[in-house]
Chain A
Amino acid sequence: MMKRRFCVLAAALISLLILLLIFVLPSWRKPPEIGENLVKNPSFEKEKKGKPTAWEIESWVKDPEAGRCTLEKGKAYRGTKFVMVESFVPNHVAFTQLIRVEENSIYKIYGWIKTENVGRGNKGANIGIEGKMDTSKDIKGSNGKWKPVEFYARTGEDVISFKLMLNLGGYASLNTGKAFFDEIVVKEVENVPGGAHVVSINWEEKGRSSFQSTFSIMGHEITLPRDIWKFFLSAAFVIIAGVLFFIYVRRHPVQAGK
């Protein structure tokens, strides 16, 4: 009986350990160099099952018939591949990627955009940051040429990440047409040139992107969801308390209903 209880407890703790590893291992990474492009798969050359790796898709209109976001091959700005966002109905669609950054730092964000038949009335293709209305200049007619856009982001205290968005349309400004994006760069810089367009990112404004904690072990950075230890500790407590209670009840049997 004792052996069985031990097995139950051990199995529970091993399960927790496996869960912990699931969270820790994918987040193990080296710290970025100064000036290094922080965007993963920036020119969309890496793909998996026809989709660019490291990029996600988000859409205001959820209907799959409303548009498409695809990886294209052909006349890219760099390499041979780029991404396309196409909206058949007024929509705000984006390729997104969470970018790890340092607090109180400045970042230059730029990329190349082409458009086709983008509506004139609302916001065109642009690069932005989730939660910020202020984006790069938007492109609506590019005559088949790649156009550069850029802006700067200044991170506030406690800001360690933001979600980069390659948008067609914007918040409360839905649009139709095609937008192409390639060679997206986010890199830390020391200064902002005079007259440059700067977007400030503060923790309070960032909402849901700001729940990660980064710490360093032996020169490697581990990024975990903020306060994930609370989940593990709570689960461990409940399991241990449950097993102890189980043992207590077995040792002090009371006939039911008496």
Chain B
Amino acid sequence: MKQILRGDFLIFSAVTLVAWIAFAFFMGMPVFKHDILADQHTRQALAWQEGRMHLEENVGWLELAEYKGKIYVSFPPTPTLIAFPLTLIFGYNTPNTFTLLIFTWLAMLFSFFIFEKLTQNRLLSFFMAFSFFWGSQILYLSMLGSVHNQGQLYGVFFAILALLIALNTKKTWSLIVSGLMLGLAVGCRPFYLFMLPLLLYLGIQKHSLRKTLFFTGLGLAPMGIFLALYNLARFGSIFEFGHNYLPLHARYKWVQFGFQYLVTNLKRGFISLPFWDRQNHLLNFSGYGTAIWIVAPVLLSGFYFFFKKDIPIIEKIVGALSIFSIWFILCLHFSNGWYQFGYRFSIDLIPLLIYFCGRSFRKMHLGLIPLGAYSIIINIYGVYWKYITLLGVPSGPFGS
């Protein structure tokens, strides 16, 4: 609480919140309105209120799964848990963009505490927390409360909270709550499950292995059971979220994850460059993804973790296991995140990269300043590019 009431933190919190909302307005986003373009979680929350798991109507643009004559939301359901209490107040008109923006802002503040805990340097922590959020694709995703954005950013929120709790308390309950938060993150983006080795590693720094395993598992269990039963009740399989019953998958028999996508996704993630659009007189990007070192280089500072000598080798192995497992699976995804600015799947790595970065730096390294500043500027441009120019959005037969 003392940390929260400090002047610099209060200023940081207030300025970033106002700036975030003002920026969203400035870029023409419907901040306080209900976004109808991809409001699956609001619709699912309303269905829950009526005691149903299925939606009453199929809406063509919402990527809804059809199974045994019923319509379901196929996206993992944690964001619906957040939408549920809001729909009790606002009904269908839940301000999903504003809610997402607030959760993202809170996640940034939590990341500050992680940085501060690990670096013991407040200035560096403020800078890195802001750079990781405004200097990555989190910024453009936070501008619109659509279903994909909710999944990724609520996932970041809960994963960061899991890390923060694991780092900050020595009490047994921290293992349970940390596990619960990880479970909620998994309920947004299932691959956060691969963060478990790192959480266990942090747990055994303060508790016995047996205790860590038991209580973290206890924390994970409610969400694991909920997800499994919810999937089973809807699709007859504990592992089926419904993606295989989406019209696109059903029609084209696409495999959602496969090695055949690996090379293309690696190209998009590492060598796809922006280009000067002579027709439109601006810097343009492929809507399928741009190299991470162009669009969010500040994130790469986290990988210094693996080269730092004073970090135990076991911690590096556990960290590598967590992050590269997530990244590898994301690289096998058939769409690489569809139309986007930058490389939006990199967002799933950010909680881990925050931890790595915090472990790697103790003072404001001069190289971090231009890296962070450039990342922030390119992502502000990304918001402009994505939401004002609308380039990268498929138009007629020509996608980007």
Contact = CB atoms under 8 A, between A and B. Distances in A.
Interface in B279-338: 279-282
Given A211-B388, A227-B384, A257 B281 contact: no
A201 B117 CA distance: 58
Contact of A172 (B376, B381, B397): B397
A58 interface: yes
B27 A97 contact: no
A223 interface: yes
A162 to B, nearest CB: 11
A249 B380 contact: no
B19 A23 contact: no
Contacts of B380: 231, 234-235, 238
A163 interface: yes
Interface string B361-400: 0000000010001001100110010001111010111100
A207 interface: yes
A58 B390 contact: no
Contact of A254 (B23, B122, B130, B395): B122
A23 B283 CA distance: 9
A231 B281 contact: no
A23 B385 CA distance: 14
Contacts of A12: 373
B130 A211 contact: no
A248 interface: yes
A163 B397 contact: no
A27 B397 contact: no
Interface string B39-67: 00000000000000000000000000000
Interface string B106-145: 0000000000110111110111001000100000000000
Q: Which of B123, B282, B369, B381 has the most CB of A within 10 A?
A: B282
Contacts of B27: 230, 234
B280 A234 contact: no
A24 B23 CA distance: 23
A250 B8 CA distance: 10
Contact of B279 (A97, A233, A239, A258): A97
Contact of A207 (B117, B369, B390): B390
Q: Is the interface of B mostly helix, strand, loop or mixed?
A: helix
B102 interface: no
Interface string A216-258: 0000000111111011011101110110011011101110111
Contacts of A96: 279
Nearest to B370: A11
Given A234-B26, A249-B8, A225 B280 contact: yes
A10 interface: no
A212 B281 contact: yes
A98 interface: yes
Interface residues of B, number: 45
B7 interface: yes
A6 interface: no
B281 A225 contact: yes
Given A208-B390, A211-B389, A252 B397 contact: no
B389 A231 contact: no
A15 B381 CA distance: 14
B384 A256 contact: no
A36 interface: no
A171 B397 contact: yes
A56 B397 CA distance: 16
Q: Which of A19, A59, A256 has the most CB of B within 10 A?
A: A256
B23 A234 contact: yes
Contacts of B122: 249, 253-254, 256
Given A257-B117, A257-B120, A58 B398 contact: yes
Contact of B373 (A239, A250, A254, A258): A239
Nearest to A223: B281
Given A8-B369, A98-B280, A241-B15, A230 B396 contact: no
Given A56-B279, A238-B376, A248-B11, A171 B396 contact: yes
A130 B8 CA distance: 52
Nearest to B115: A256
A169 to B, nearest CB: 9
Contacts of A239: 373, 377
Contact of A256 (B121, B282, B381, B393): B121
A242 B125 contact: no
B384 A231 contact: yes
Contacts of B8: 248-249, 252, 254
B32 interface: no
B116 A257 contact: yes
Contacts of A131: 395-396
Nearest to B123: A249
In the A-B complex, the 3 residue pairs with the closest CB atoms: A98-B279, A231-B384, A256-B120
14 contacts: A60-B398, A171-B396, A207-B395, A208-B393, A208-B395, A211-B280, A230-B26, A237-B19, A238-B19, A245-B126, A250-B123, A254-B122, A256-B121, A256-B125
Interface of A: 8, 12, 15, 19, 23, 26-27, 54, 56, 58-60, 92, 96-98, 130-131, 163, 171-172, 207-208, 211-212, 223-228, 230-231, 233-235, 237-239, 241-242, 245-246, 248-250, 252-254, 256-258
Given A211-B388, A239-B373, 18 more contacts: A56-B279, A58-B398, A92-B397, A130-B395, A130-B396, A208-B391, A225-B281, A227-B388, A231-B380, A235-B380, A235-B381, A239-B377, A242-B130, A248-B8, A249-B8, A256-B116, A256-B121, A256-B125
